[in-house]
Amino acid sequence: MSNSAPQAQGPGRPARAGASGPPNQTLALAAMMFAVSMTFIDQTIVAIAAPDIIHELGLTSSQMQWVVNAYLLTLAAFFALGGRLSDIYGHRRVMLIGTLVFVIASALCGAVPTGEYAQAWLIGFRAIQGFGAALMFPAALAVVIAVFPVERRGRALALFFGVSGGLTAIGPLLGGWLTEWTWRAIFWINVPVAVVAIVLALLAHIPESSNREPLDVPGTVLMALGMGLTVLGLQQSVTWGWDAWPTWTCIVVGLVVLAFFCRFELGRRHPLVRLQVFRDRAFAVDMLVLFFAMTAFVPVLFFASVYAQVSLSASPNQAALYLLYFFVGFALASQWGGRILDKRGARPALRTGAALGAVGFALWAAKLTTLSMHDQWPYAALAGAGIGFLLAPASTDAVNRSIGASYGEVTGITQTVRNFAASIGLAVFGTVLTHVTVNRVAETLRGEGVPSGPARTAARHIAEAVTGNADARQPTGGGRAAELTRESMQAVRVDFAEANQWVFYSMAGALVLAFICSLWHPGTRVTGDAAPPGEPAPHPPERRAY
């Protein structure tokens, strides 16, 4: 990998490389991976420390859930804004600002005082953490895109997504180790990581470009409100229930606001999101493939770990190791997918990844009732390989087509789609898991002579312990359920494994839909970097069919 390359420009002012010469690609890529690693790890590390946080600060499990959801809600609501600000003020500048916001909020989360203000303090600074991540992630991704020329961008982003995504599995292991010292360390660990990211970013001499268009403030408010309400309804559906009016009020009102946002943006001269980019058929297919793949990718972290703790009686750390099977396949395949994108375009990688993922999840589902990790690891790795094969190519191909839009803006779109899909997957699959678990466990208990009423109540308690009192995005939930089922009979462990089979087969179905969508990809490939509107491209965009 070469250490320098000319800046790939997006719309706006030309990049300023400075007197120090062209950017150092290796340092730039390393800096961005260090930065975004904090956002990935923070999605999983907090839940492992939840019991200690609840005990020391006197929080309820519901309050602790809001500590986690505050981060995720602001992350979802402000991704598009982060991408737009990156275009307006410069990718490197917004990445550094987002990193500083994130790490300062992390330090303050770790410094939360005990007492009556603990809940408000922790939830507030977790929300600020999410806002910092929403600024940082699209900008960091745009830096990588801008530094690497289009013909080598696939491999660079494959490494970016492969390493960064794999860090999600490290969260529970790292959290368990740090919590033995103090739970506050799970927030403080971000400080040295952020320092390394900032230093590397400054040493990389990343060219800065900007496009000082006015910010679409009304569009920003509509997007944040619509995404925030919709994701809140989806997140809380397990706790509130699908038959509760707050669930549907949030989802319906959020979707109505998002629909109004789309109509509003089409009439804006300087919109928050240029929806015209969806007229590119390849871009639209990339987004659909990403959507269906992400309904499986993030949820599998939660459901596989809960399955391991309940049906396999694994500890949280053992459950994290169980997830490593998936991530080994993911990390290896992501590199192959990036090379295929660079040489042949996105279509082969999308089709291969979706097919592998569908087969892997289906075979994995079939083996869940064996209650043996040894029998499952090849299929877990195959499922991970399928996701890894298509994730970076779909994201990179979408960004390569940002002609007429901009890199920061399009990365904001891709990350919003990914996060929204993950929320839907968790909500829908969580409902399936709860429903099937209640039915199977109740049937088993009735077979053991327990009356129908008490059997149904006990089954519901077990299901709620799995999905109701733990954050549905974290792969460390299920501790109470594991304790309950260990005290119960072997048949209940099998019942829960059978309930998870429905979830994993549904994930396979999501990858089948991704494969069907990939068939509509035109197979064209952008072989030159986009130029600002009205300016000649440094390498004329060429689209070839494969």
* Model pLDDT for residues 347-404, shown as the tens digit of each residue: 999 999 999 999 999 999 999 999 988 899 999 999 999 999 999 899 889 888 865 5
Q: DSSP letter at 313?
A: -
Q: Distance between CA atoms of 465 and 455, rounded to whole angstroms?
A: 15
Query: What pLDDT score was predicted for residue 165?
Result: 67
Q: Distance between CA atoms of 78 and 222, rounded to whole angstroms?
A: 11
Q: Distance between CA atoms of 103 and 11, rounded to whole angstroms?
A: 30
User: What is the dihedral angle through the alpha carbons of 214, 218, 224, 226, rounded to the nearest 10 degrees?
Assistant: -140
Cβ atoms within 10 Å, residue 264: 17
DSSP per-residue codes, 505-546? HHHHHHHHHHHHHHTT---EEE-S----TTS--SS---EEE-
Extract the runs of DSSP E, i.e. beta strands, from 13-161. Answer: none
Q: Distance between CA atoms of 81 and 509, rounded to whole angstroms?
A: 32
Query: What pLDDT score was predicted for residue 535?
Result: 34
- Quote the distance between the C-alpha of residue 102 and its chain's center: 17
Render the burial of 427-438: b for 16+ CB within 10 Å, e for the rest: bbbbbbbbebbb
User: What tokens were used for 185?
Assistant: 């360390």
Query: What pLDDT score was predicted for residue 8?
Result: 39
CB 287 within 8 A of CB 414: yes
Q: Distance between CA atoms of 149 and 64, rounded to whole angstroms?
A: 44
> Collapsing DSSP states into helix, strand and coil, what is residue 212?
coil
Q: DSSP letter at 368?
A: G
* Model pLDDT for residues 408-433, shown as the tens digit of each residue: 778 888 888 988 898 888 888 988 88
Through-space distance between the first and last CA atoms of the chain, rounded to whole angstroms:
26
- What average pLDDT does the chain have? 82
CB 515 within 8 A of CB 457: no
pLDDT in tens, the chain (546 residues): 444 444 434 444 444 444 456 788 999 999 999 998 888 777 767 766 777 888 888 887 667 778 877 888 888 889 889 988 988 889 999 999 999 999 999 999 999 998 888 889 999 999 999 999 999 999 998 898 888 887 788 888 888 877 776 676 676 677 778 877 888 998 999 999 999 999 999 999 888 777 777 889 999 999 999 999 998 898 888 778 888 999 999 999 999 999 999 999 998 888 888 888 888 899 999 999 999 999 999 888 888 888 887 888 887 677 778 888 998 899 889 889 888 988 888 999 999 999 999 999 999 999 999 998 889 999 999 999 999 999 989 988 988 886 555 777 788 888 889 888 988 888 889 888 888 988 888 888 777 777 777 778 777 776 666 554 444 334 334 444 444 444 555 777 888 899 999 999 999 999 999 999 999 999 887 665 544 333 333 333 444 443
DSSP per-residue codes, 255-309? HHHHHHHHHHHHT-SS-SS-GGGGGSHHHHHHHHHHHHHHHHHHHHHHHHHHHHH
pTM of the model: 0.81
What phi, psi does 65 have (nearest 5°)?
Answer: -65, -35
Q: Distance between CA atoms of 244 and 135, rounded to whole angstroms?
A: 33
